[in-house]
Structure 1
Amino acid sequence: MARVRNFWNHSKTTALIWIISAILFYSVFQMAIRNSSSLDHRNPSTSSGPATDTPISNAEQRSRLYDKMAKDLDEHGATFLKHGETSQSLSLSDLFTVKGGSVTPILKAAIPPVRANVLYLSTEYSIPISEAVRSIFLPHFDKMIWFQNSTLCHFSMFHASHHIAPVPATEEEIEAEAYAVKAVAGDLCPLKIVLDRVVLTSTGVLLGCWQVISGTDPITIRAKLRSALPHAPVKQLYDAAILHTSFARVLGQPNASSSATVSELWYVEEFDVLALALNGKMKVRKFHFGCSKS
């Protein structure tokens, strides 16, 4: 019986998270559409400027990767509820603690410092997204969620050194790396991107997964950085095709107030296709459950 209750609690948690993620995706997707329209208005012609990559095969590669990521929570369950491993081979307990009813990051010195190359998302776009994420998730995870700083929203591209495979460097070598990265940036075309989907991973990371409409593709950017930084770790932290941002990290169960009781069974005649979904013509017969126990 205890096993059944645990399964039921897990199922309710997973279902709630999926519903919240779906609402978030719809909200952020609408903002992305508005931003895209605004961008088109400011830049009515895309024929001028440097030539851009053809993203067709790369886009398909990203879509397949995102499909796999979207199945992660279903296939592995909410492992973050067990405080297991999160991103970059670190556990949640390595990264966060709960003090005074709020989540606090645990800052540890990186020796040697991590040297990351990231694409920065302007606050013109990141702040509205952050506000949408916070408004949807905070009521349900007020003491068990960490939100990404909206002024530091980014897409991780390539590491010259990371904590799993550190590559020490002198100040002169670091300056040389920065100069090489600057040269790479000079060859890149601005990316016009659109939100593909929002995914909550089994490790509790809420990710925005993006597609590239035009500009230099992330696969090309990473290849250029690889050439410019020959001493970088062979094994990088992310797939070459991915273009993702972290919106938040969920650390625990949703609030008890997020639960619900269902006690009606409807028999619905839909006179329009998908009438329930599209507010079409229908006839509803409502039947209350006979059992009073939950």
Structure 2
Amino acid sequence: MAATKPPSCSTRLRSPATTAACFLPASLLLFLLLLLLRRPPMGSFPPTIPGGPVSSRRAELYGRMARDLDERGAAFLDGGETSQSLTLSELFDTRDGAVVPMLKAANPPVRANVLYLDPEFASVISKAVKEVFLPYFNQAIWFQNMSIYHFSMFHTSHHLEPIVATEDEIEAEVDAVKRVTDDVCPLKIILDQVVLTSTGVLLGLWQVESGTDPADIRSRLREALPRAPQKQLYDPVMLHTSLARILGHPKLPQEGNAQSLDHVKFFHDLVAQVNSKIRGFQATVKELWFVEEYDVLALALNGKMKVRRLQFGCKEGQGNGKI
């Protein structure tokens, strides 16, 4: 059987691709081929969010969270529990006139991936929150440490589904997360609003102006960490920072009548004051932390933890990775 003759550039009928190949130097063709081989296939990190634009879904979620206090009232004034079913009295104590956390060992430790907010930005928010709330809750409020303001993204082990891992397995998780952060672009974010929940947590809720969207980051982490719990703790589009937790009743001026106080209106007024100071505040997020929390709620309570700081590797002009 005669061998098949390879196509020639002198052939009369050529496809567009063949035509291009005939006029490109061999070195350039090799370079283009390598680029195609290195490029991740379309849909490598598919969005996990159904429906409309992420920013719209985020706004809808924040609207529901803002209504929580109206719908459920200030339940935290009657005690209340944290997200881990711990009472406030189990987490906090008062010593020498100051609120202090009662740290408890986490067994096994929680492993969390969080975005980190630099104190350059966190200090502005912390100052505004303290100016408004501290006069009324001197010994009945816990303020988030501004040096570890963070946005929870994705857990590889949490209290609802603990996944024990060896040191080698944890290091493999860190390596997998680093491969994700190498392609993540810094986020430029804007504070959409501050809200107070019915459980007494003061939250900063953020929108994303540019950079890799948190929903996309979570999707990439899900693919990179297949052993992680299927049930994660937060809505995929949510970008929030815990600012403070109210632990008791407000201290009112002498002329104030605690029994006749409309608590919901009172708290709405305080939140409105905070929003008037910092709503629309802009910040930049440039790194992700892989955190092993050796104490329960270590990130929230200044507990014992091990942190790996991973810088975002996306450079300007590489695309923003938004979904």
**Larger RCO (CA within 8 A; separation ≥ 6):** 2
Corresponding residue of 2:96 = 100
Distance 1:258 1:87 in 2: 35
Corresponding residue of 1:182 = 178
Corresponding residue of 1:147 = 143
Distance 1:167 1:120 in 2: 24
| Cα deviations by residue, 1:55-86 (Å, 9 ceiling, x for unpaired) | 97100111010000001111111111111122
Corresponding residue of 1:85 = 81
Corresponding residue of 2:207 = 211
Moved more, 77-86 or 147-156: 77-86
Amino acid at match of 1:210: W
Figure out how many residues of one structure are paired with residues of the other and give that number. Answer: 210
Q: In the TM superposition, what is the alpha-carbon distance from 1:93 to its structure 2 partner?
A: 2.3
Distance 2:254 2:205 in 1: 26
Distance 2:77 2:126 in 1: 23
Distance 1:150 1:113 in 2: 23
Verify the 8 A CA contact 1:88 1:237 in the aligned structure 2. Answer: no
Q: In the TM superposition, what is the alpha-carbon distance from 1:233 to its structure 2 partner?
A: 0.9
Distance 1:235 1:69, change over 3 A: same
Corresponding residue of 2:188 = 192
| Cα deviations by residue, 1:159-210 (Å, 9 ceiling, x for unpaired) | 0001221100000000000000111100111110000000000001000000
Corresponding residue of 2:71 = 75
Does 1:109 find its partner at 2:105? yes
Distance 1:144 1:242, change over 3 A: same
Unpaired runs of at least 5, structure 1: 1-52, 262-294
Q: Which of 121, 135, 141 is the aligned partner of 2:131? A: 135
Unpaired runs of at least 5, structure 2: 1-45, 258-323
Moved more, 158-167 or 148-157: 158-167
Verify the 8 A CA contact 1:140 1:258 in the aligned structure 2. Answer: no
Distance 1:167 1:189 in 2: 29
Amino acid at match of 1:70: A
Amino acid at match of 2:131: S
Corresponding residue of 1:34 = none
Distance 1:115 1:137 in 2: 32
Distance 1:188 1:119, change over 3 A: same
Q: Which of 146, 149, 157 is the aligned partner of 2:153? A: 157
Structure whose alpha-carbon radius of gyration is higher: 2
Corresponding residue of 2:249 = 253
1:35-46 correspondence runs (5 A): none
| Cα deviations by residue, 1:11-44 (Å, 9 ceiling, x for unpaired) | xxxxxxxxxxxxxxxxxxxxxxxxxxxxxxxxxx
Amino acid at match of 1:198: V
Corresponding residue of 2:25 = none
Query: Share of identical aligned residues, percent?
Result: 61
Verify the 8 A CA contact 1:87 1:203 in the aligned structure 2. Answer: no
Amino acid at match of 1:71: R
Q: Which of 215, 229, 238 is the aligned partner of 2:234? A: 238
Amino acid at match of 1:206: L
* The structure with more helix, counted as a fraction of residues: 1
Tell me the TM-score normalized by structure 1.
0.68
What value does the CA root-mean-square deviation take over the aligned residues? 2.1
| Cα deviations by residue, 1:209-233 (Å, 9 ceiling, x for unpaired) | 0000111111100011111111111
